Amino acid sequence: MSNYVSAHPHRLALATVAVFRGIGSSETEARLIADNLVLANLTGHDSHGVGLVPLYLEGVRAGIVQVNQKPELVADADVMLALDGRMGFGQVIGHEAMELGIRRVHEHGICLVATRNSHHLSRIGHWGEQCARTGYVSTQYVNTLGLPPLVAPYGGSDARVATNPYCAAVPSPDGHPVVLDMATSKIALGKARVAMNKGVAVEDDTLIDADGEPTNDPSVMYQDPIGAILPFGGHKGYGLGIIAELLAGALSGGGTYNAGTVITKVIHNNMLSIIFDPGRLGGTHWRKDISRFIDWVKASPLGRSAEGVLMAGEPERIAHRACGTLEERNSYRRSILGGNQRGRPRRRRLSGRPGGCPDRMILLFPQHARARQ
């Protein structure tokens, strides 16, 4: 219990808004960032929650992350858009990019959106969910530059790429989309941070140290020289991570890792998204097929160690309904309670409630903190 503090989600969101208002963000930008980060905590992903605020502030202080940016349209071919995020906050750039794509899908039924030069796009499932709420299917490929490479190639002994997330979201008739959102590595870097702050080891076959030797110590990802995360599923996860690097990085114009890559220690994301309206494929049969398929899969008898069959996206909804989340004490203190630093919340009365933040207490019990790999 010593590693955690309790936080009311509404108050935590307001404090986070105050931090970003303090560095010059507009009210809209600050609320988009706060809602996104707190929702990540509430859905069980502390790795993508308010613990990231110190890293965001460091990017601003370094002059790399720019406040109040909107994506710039650099190429428009009707159903294909290329955007430059101008290193604005990913919560804004991602939201605007999906909105632009969604509007084109309204017109044409499909749209490909290539977004380059965004700061951290946070939990990629957030963007799949945004599309699914409009009834659209989407898939996202993401690569990361700026940080040192984090993931070893299959058969290699040092890091050469990043965790390169992949997401696919499919709306379902019951209003709960199937959302697959995963790093192509065994764990995301933020999961290593959470484990390190909790003082726990990671699972076997997840990390290697700087000498290429297997280790369970998450701190190797925060040492110099750095260790590496292994790809999930061996050559399969490695292959998917390579595809994400090429589609998101090379095709967007945002760049890929290579011998000349500049390491700024500030996250720089590129994302390629494909969004389409399944209704344009003819008929509504797909709705019934989705429901029948989900029912069929979930009717499988329980395995020996299983608690139940879940669809992708259900663990997040379950966590959100319980309002169960954990935020590391170290990260919380630095981001919200930190000393005299740019972005410290001012002593002023706050009003209003950011959307998406339940008016309930966050539960603070370590047993609820099941790390999602």
pLDDT at position 321: 62
At 186 the three-state DSSP class reads: coil
Instruction: Report yes or no on 191 lying in a domain.
Output: yes
Q: Give me the mean pLDDT over the 246-253 stretch.
A: 98
Q: What is the pLDDT of residues 73-88, one digit of tens each?
A: 999 999 999 999 999 9
pLDDT score of 207 more than 50? yes
Q: What is the mean pLDDT of the chain?
A: 86
| H helices present in the chain, as ranges | 9-22, 27-42, 53-61, 90-108, 125-132, 189-198, 235-244, 285-298, 314-322, 329-335
Instruction: Report yes or no on 3 lying in a domain.
Output: no
pLDDT at position 307: 73
For residue 173, say if its preceding peptide bond is cis, omega within 30 degrees of 0.
Answer: no
Q: Which residue in 18, 16, 24 sits closest to 49, CA to CA?
A: 16
* CATH, residue 198: 3.30.1370.60
Range of the domain at 24: 9-368
Residue 46: pLDDT band (50, 70, 90) is confident
**∠ CA 66-347-194, rounded to 5°:** 60
**∠ CA 220-37-313, rounded to 5°:** 90
pTM: 0.85
Instruction: Report yes or no on 373 lying in a domain.
Output: no
Which position has the token pair 């599309």?
A: 131
Instruction: Report yes or no on 77 lying in a domain.
Output: yes
Q: What is the pLDDT of residues 47-77, one digit of tens each?
A: 899 989 999 999 999 999 999 999 999 999 9
Instruction: Report yes or no on 263 lying in a domain.
Output: yes
Type of residue at 369:
A
Distance (Å, rounded) from C-alpha 228 to C-alpha 144? 15
How many domains are there within the chain? 1
